[in-house]
Amino acid sequence: MTFEELLAQIADIRQQAEPRTRDALAGFERQLKAFGVANDKELAARERQIAAQDAQLVEKDKLIAEQNAQLVEKDKLIAELEKQQETRVTRASPTDIARSFRAVIDEFHAETREAEDVGVAIKTLDVAVMGLVEVDEQKTTLVLPSAGAAVDPTALSTLRVSFAAVPVVPAEAHPQAEAPPKPPPAPRARGRSRRA
């Protein structure tokens, strides 16, 4: 039974009741209506509170969804950076590669020259470097993939460099230019003297 149906039933009973009971029922009806209005207000306030909480939950869900989307983007970015790290390459000319290994030998020999007792020297060093060859109009470059890169070995070219220790020969001193020899003195002419 609804609240309105209860009020209607009380109104029917009040019409059939004697005056004293009718007045009591009228007072009870007024109290019941006041209680119903207060109850409706409380229910409305609770519904508003529930609606506000639902709105907050919706906002929280949106915020969580945005944060999850940001995390997904960060994960994608990290994966891309890791992939770029795996495929990072180094470009160097054959001359640069040869010079870098020559510097290693020079450093080793410098330590040997500074040794107080016995020095050890590298007589020969053979290096094989594999990479992709890039040739343009100006220079030839060797592309060296990183260690973790997935590269087809058959696509790589091999640069072989052999180093050997050679003695340093001092440059010859250029002799000073000598002055051209003086021409011999011209011979004197011999003539006969005339006697008178």
Average confidence (pLDDT) per 10 residues, the chain, 196 residues: 73 74 76 82 91 93 93 84 67 84 80 72 81 81 76 81 74 61 63 51
CB 109, CB 121: distance < 8 Å: yes
Give the pLDDT confidence score for residue 196 in this predicted structure: 46
- What is the CB neighbour count within 10 angstroms for residue 6? 13
Give the pLDDT confidence score for residue 71 in this predicted structure: 87
CB 181, CB 168: distance < 8 Å: no
Burial 141-156, CB ≥16 within 10 A → b, else e: bbebbeeeeeeeeeeb
Could you tell me the pTM of the whole model? 0.38
**Domain extents in the chain:** 1-85, 89-164
